[in-house]
A and B are shown apart, each in its own frame.
Chain A
Amino acid sequence: MTTTLRPGSGSETLLARIVPLPGTSARRASLMVERNALVYRRSWVIIVSGFFEPFFYLLSIGIGLGALVGTVSLDGRMIEYTAFVAPALLASSAMNGAVYDSTFNIFFKLKYAKTYDAILSTPMSPGDVAAGEITWALIRGLIYSTTFLAVMLALGLVGSPWAVLVLPAAVLIGFGFAAVGMAATTYMPGWQDFEFVQLCILPMFLFATTFYPLATYPSALQAVVVCTPLYHAVELIRSLTTGLVDGTVVIHIGYLVVMGLIGLRVAGRRLEKLLLT
């Protein structure tokens, strides 16, 4: 059900049709994006500087350390280590950005600044807020992914026309993690719980085949790694930039879509419960 402020002023998004968040309209959700854009217009340096971290990692681990590694075997083909690591860094930076935006930023607005309390006394609904904040995280992530992909192209690290799908794939990764991050944030009582977020992110960043192929692990550990969402994100982007695309891509996409939809559903409901009591 879509409640609109004025007849015909709100349109149902595809997202809203799949996950019916009560009273969400795309037009109102876009106002959340407008608000965030207004905030960051002044501090665009922060947004720009966010690009450099994955870029530095690419130069250090990908190129500096990559020279010591040489090539790695992937699906029976030998590829340069730099070309192996680069897509993984893109995927994990999409995860990092989405998680940061949907946890620290949202927690601050939810618990301290009371930003949402003010917004909800207008026609905006909790669903609008949730959808708007996630959309903002996706836009920001898209900017990073685009610049990183450009760097990869310039360094000759893209080996397949499939790479045109990297950007939508990165948005999907951002969506999956932002939705889950936001849902998790609504359950957090205090700042100390972010230690827990770190505890989820860091092991994934280090172990989800970011820096070396799955085959390096003993088979028992492989089963664990395959369950993590970042594994699917990394493998999805890597198969697109290397051109080693096969049926498993569908599994990776499915995993991320389901994760995002569940997260969004939980986040919308929890926000409603927290803010409208």
Chain B
Amino acid sequence: MSVPESRRQLSVPVATVEVVDDSLDAAFIHARGLTKRFGEFTAVDGIDVDVARGEAFGFLGPNGAGKSSTMRMIGCVSPPTEGTLRILGMDPGADGPAIRARLGVVPQQDTLDTELSVRENLLIYGRYFGMSRAAVRAKTDELLDFVQLTDRAKDKVEPLSGGMKRRLTIARSLINDPDILLLDEPTTGLDPQARHSLWDRLFRLKQRGVTLVLTTHYMDEAEQLCDRLVVMDKGRFAAEGSPRELIATYSTREVLELRFGPDEDNNVYADKVEGLVDRVEVLPDRLLLYTDDGDGTTAAVYQRGLLPVSTLVRRSTLEDVFLRLTGRTLVD
């Protein structure tokens, strides 16, 4: 099977393609019953995924939810234990190299070549894709500029800051003009400024029509970048939708956070606010009241004679969706 042919198939309108199952070709990524087991442990438990061209798709879940295992299967570096998987219309088992030629991968931990300089990292990586030296050089200059590392081009990788290394990894993943960009927790461990700078770069890519698939356990990241996401827990999908849909379905408009003293038993207060709202979550350090009118609920709490140390009314987030679906918090 040759690459140019499949590219052509994908670029023609779906209606004219002589393929029976059109969902298979319409989707850049298509998985049914995708399963990954390591011995007794099931990391990914029969998930169905379809990611369309140009979409920004996210896996949201805590550590150990099976996100990275899923990403490695999509990246064709981990054979599925069960289920079907088609990437760009091809089978990872048979066409691994051809698929990987069209993917860009940003792994969870930086795998930059520490023995090479910033620029050489991009040069040699492009060569792995079979690009000519001249083509790689031109692309390298363009990408260094894109991730604002031109003035560090000759430096070794080691002394770069965490944010710079991450940006370099992203530049590296773009060297082959990928059709799909896979980002495994792209901003974990970065300071807020570096995260925003990275999100800015990713947003530009999204606008250019690059298909983004990312995992994250940060709800703000998912909200910023994803058109559609799945909430993943224990190898399965707990819910699916756009960030707004998920919040509308599984949470309320606003959340009231109540903090009592450090030695107080929050369960006691949970009983005392009963009836004020439909849903109350008890966390070790605070109480969450799900409501459509935060200020009104706050007033009601005081009317009951309760005196919290602090109150906070905020918008519902994906964190709340996750708490609702799994009973656990995303970041522990």
Contact = CB atoms under 8 A, between A and B. Distances in A.
Contacts of A77: none
Contact of A122 (B3, B101, B115, B123): B101
Interface in B93-151: 95-98, 100-101, 103, 105, 107, 109, 111-116, 120, 123-125, 127-130
A113 B77 CA distance: 18
A15 interface: no
Residue of B96, B120, B128, B176 with most chain A CB atoms under a 10 A cut-off? B128
B270 to A, nearest CB: 44
A9 B130 contact: yes
Interface stretch (A33-41, A48-56, A220-228): A33-41
B113 to A, nearest CB: 6
Contacts of B125: 118, 122
Given A6-B130, A121-B75, A123-B128, A113 B97 contact: no
Contacts of B100: 121-123
Contact of B105 (A121, A123, A124): A121
A253 B156 CA distance: 43
Given A35-B124, A114-B111, A121-B103, A7 B2 contact: yes
Interface in A1-28: 3-7, 9, 23, 27-28
Contacts of B107: 117-118, 121
A192 interface: no
Interface string A105-148: 00000000111011111111100000000000000000000000
Contacts of A121: 75, 77, 100, 103, 105, 107
B101 A5 contact: yes
A5 B126 CA distance: 13
Interface residues of A, number: 29
A277 interface: yes
B188 interface: no
Nearest to A118: B111
B127 A31 contact: yes
Interface in A71-124: 113-115, 117-124
Contact of B112 (A27, A118, A275): A118
The bracket for how many chain B residues form the interface is 20 to 34
Interface string B56-92: 0000000000000000000101110000000000000
B38 interface: yes
Residue of A3, A4, A23, A123 with most chain B CB atoms under a 10 A cut-off? A123
A35 B121 CA distance: 9
Nearest to B123: A38
A276 interface: yes
A120 B78 CA distance: 11
Given A118-B125, A123-B97, A113 B38 contact: no
A266 B107 CA distance: 27
B130 A113 contact: no
Contacts of A117: 77, 107, 111
B130 A5 contact: yes
Contacts of A113: 111, 113-115
Given A113-B115, A118-B112, A275 B77 contact: yes
What is the predominant secondary structure among interface residues of chain A facing chain B?
loop
A276 B80 CA distance: 11
Given A5-B101, A38-B120, A277-B38, A123 B130 contact: yes
Nearest to B182: A121
A39 B115 contact: yes
Nearest to B2: A7
A276 B3 contact: no
Contact of A114 (B75, B103, B105, B109): B109
A88 to B, nearest CB: 33
A119 B123 CA distance: 13
A78 to B, nearest CB: 50
B71 to A, nearest CB: 10
Interface string B233-272: 0000000000000000000000000000000000000000
B133 to A, nearest CB: 10
Contacts of A9: 130
A6 B100 CA distance: 13
Contacts of A23: 96-97
B97 A125 contact: yes
Nearest to A124: B128
A31 B96 contact: no
Nearest to B169: A118
A23 B100 CA distance: 13
Interface string A242-265: 000000000000000000000000
Nearest to A9: B130
A16 B20 CA distance: 38
A276 B78 contact: yes
A120 B105 CA distance: 10
A9 B79 CA distance: 25
Residue of B103, B111, B112, B129 with most chain A CB atoms under a 10 A cut-off? B111
11 contacts: A5-B98, A5-B130, A6-B3, A9-B130, A27-B130, A28-B128, A34-B124, A35-B124, A121-B103, A122-B125, A276-B78
Interface of B: 2-3, 38, 75, 77-79, 95-98, 100-101, 103, 105, 107, 109, 111-116, 120, 123-125, 127-130, 172, 176
Given A5-B3, A35-B113, A125-B97, 10 more contacts: A3-B96, A3-B98, A5-B97, A121-B77, A122-B125, A122-B176, A123-B97, A123-B100, A275-B77, A276-B78
**7 A-B pairs with least C-beta separation:** A118-B111, A123-B97, A122-B128, A121-B105, A114-B111, A39-B115, A123-B101
